[in-house]
Structure 1
Amino acid sequence: MEGERNAELIRAQLRRQRTLVGMNQEEFGKRANYSASTVSAVETGTRPIDLPYARRADEILATGGLFESLLRSAQRDSLPTWFKPWLEAEREAQQLRYFNPLLIPGLFQTANYARAVFRLVDTRPEQEVEQHLAARLERQEILTREHPPQVVAVIDESVLRRADAIMAEQLAHLLRMAELPHVHIHVVPASAGLYIGLDGPLALAMLPDGTWVGLLDDHLGGTAVGTAERMATLLARWEGVRSAALSEAMSVALIKEVESQHGPQ
């Protein structure tokens, strides 16, 4: 599998660079603030390498960002082919629109929430879970970059009320995201009853030239949509979803109310 080959390449380079500067695993671990057992686990593949580890390795080994670059490339390669056109559109977008009637949108998921979502496929290997998680967390960096897009997200109230140990943390994170000036979160209340969005999730990206790209996904994968006719339909659906949602202030108040019912984190 390509993902496994990429991971082995990074591990081999880590071992090589560490050896070249004359450090054993214990010495490297002390400087990187990791235990020797963690360093060993990363280099043997029993623990996946993440961005903080890659960045710390680049600092200590003075590689000029080599490991972060390799890891980001491997994360992109691990994504399904159908998702890559959307990923590019998401990175370039000046405006983003997200709706999901079942889950917190990916850009706002905590690591624990996202990990739980990826583990819903019970045959997925843990290393693949962590690869998907790393790619998702990398996507979220567009929210805090120097020139972020305007992001509007609509979430169904039922998503907030799922009784789960990780939801208190997730709701607190959602409220922090709502404080960002370019992020606008709206909730469709249970009182809305049936509404057009129950057909399924959708995502929209407006590119710098003013054109829109959409994403539809399901159990078997997803489809990036770009034709004028189909985008007109998706934009109309988005307006239907948005009109069913509460105002931004009322939505934040509802999230805070639900958060209080989940108890302390």
Structure 2
Amino acid sequence: MAMSPSEFLIRESRRRRVAAGFSQEALGERMNFSGSHVSSVETGQRPPTPKFLEAADEILETGGLLTRLYEDLVKADESPVWAREWLFYEEQAEALRTFESTAIPGLLQTEAYARAIFASGGLLTSEEVERRVAARMERQAVLRRENPPQFTAVLDAGALCRPVGGPEVMREQLLHIVEITELPHVRVQVVPKSAGAYPGLGGPFIIATMSDNENVAHLDHQVPGKVLVGGSDLTWILKAWEAIRSEALPHHQSIELISEAAEKWTT
């Protein structure tokens, strides 16, 4: 069976480490990563970030080989061995900050609301719709795990009145948000209609802050989203988050607005 680009990168990274006489622990120490981090990359359980590969290239004196392999081959690989890269960051995050301009954020969606989103337009088969709904519900476990991340969601007021799935689905969805904000680590804010034009109109995103204070962002698109690790694009997203949140109502005022909107959705 042919080796995928991501598998080739992993094999070459491991081969270069062994040839240089480093254990995983020793290499990690030189790179300012843990030995378990190096191990998880070499087993395909964790995606190698550009920062990781650049450090490995320098310590192993590869002449930039690993970074080139990633840039030239792996980024175009549709099925990397560390599939669903973003979910790793989301599950390991110390804090999550998400903004949605048109719908309820995925981590706050009810099953019925998510199903209505995925079923819209008839683009997916019923089996694919159910698979995606199940995956979204499973993903939400991050908010109820032991030692959950601090979670802050900002959404546009338009999402409160967009009829997704009908009145009953909308009322259940909005009441669910009110309920989940009773968790001490969950905060929700709403950008009111009076805000007019603001940076959030550029589209949704989510930011994960890791234990080492590294920030990673995920941009949602019609096609699979884009993960940002470092660089000017990530800096722009962090600035956009601050600008968006400055337009939002305070948490308690936002929850009052959501509760009022829920009561307007009557069957």
RMSD over aligned Cα atoms: 1.5
Secondary structure of the structure 1 residue equivalent to 2:114: helix
How many angstroms does 1:179 deviate by? 1.1
Aligned mates of 1:103, 1:221 — CA distance in 2: 17
Normalised to the residue count of structure 1, the TM-score between the two structures is 0.67
Q: Kindly tell me: are residues 205 and 127 of structure 1, through their superposed partners in 2, closer, same or farther at Cα, counting changes over 3 Å? A: same
Q: Kindly tell me: are residues 147 and 196 of structure 1, through their superposed partners in 2, closer, same or farther at Cα, counting changes over 3 Å? A: same
Residue identity opposite 2:177 in structure 1 = L
Residue identity opposite 1:207 in structure 2 = M
Secondary structure of the structure 1 residue equivalent to 2:174: helix
Aligned mates of 1:143, 1:222 — CA distance in 2: 21
Aligned mates of 2:223, 2:255 — CA distance in 1: 33
Q: Report the counterpart of residue 150 of structure 1 in structure 2.
A: 150
Q: Percent identity?
A: 41
Q: Which residue, 218, 223, 226 being the options, matches 2:226?
A: 223
For 1:39-188, list aligned pairs within 5 A: 84-163=84-163, 164-165=166-167, 166-188=169-191
How many angstroms does 1:221 deviate by? 2.4
How many angstroms does 1:220 deviate by? 2.4
How many angstroms does 1:121 deviate by? 4.3
Q: Report the counterpart of residue 211 of structure 2 in structure 1.
A: 208
Gaps of 5+ in 1: 1-79
Residue identity opposite 1:88 in structure 2 = F
Secondary structure of the structure 1 residue equivalent to 2:244: helix
Q: Kindly tell me: are residues 261 and 235 of structure 1, through their superposed partners in 2, closer, same or farther at Cα, counting changes over 3 Å? A: same
Residue identity opposite 1:146 in structure 2 = E
Aligned mates of 2:222, 2:137 — CA distance in 1: 21
The reply to whether residue 238 of structure 1 matches residue 241 of structure 2 is: yes
- Deviation sequence 1:125-146 (CA, Å, 0-9, x none): 1111111111110110111111
Secondary structure of the structure 1 residue equivalent to 2:220: strand
Gaps of 5+ in 2: 1-77
- Deviation sequence 1:132-177 (CA, Å, 0-9, x none): 1111101101111111000000011110012332100000101011
Residue identity opposite 2:112 in structure 1 = N
How many angstroms does 1:232 deviate by? 1.2
Aligned mates of 1:144, 1:221 — CA distance in 2: 26
Aligned mates of 1:85, 1:170 — CA distance in 2: 28
Query: Any runs of at least 4 consecutive aligned residues in structure 1 with deviations exceeding 3 A, and if so which?
Result: 80-83
The reply to whether residue 198 of structure 1 matches residue 201 of structure 2 is: yes
Q: How many residues align?
A: 185
How many angstroms does 1:81 deviate by? 5.1
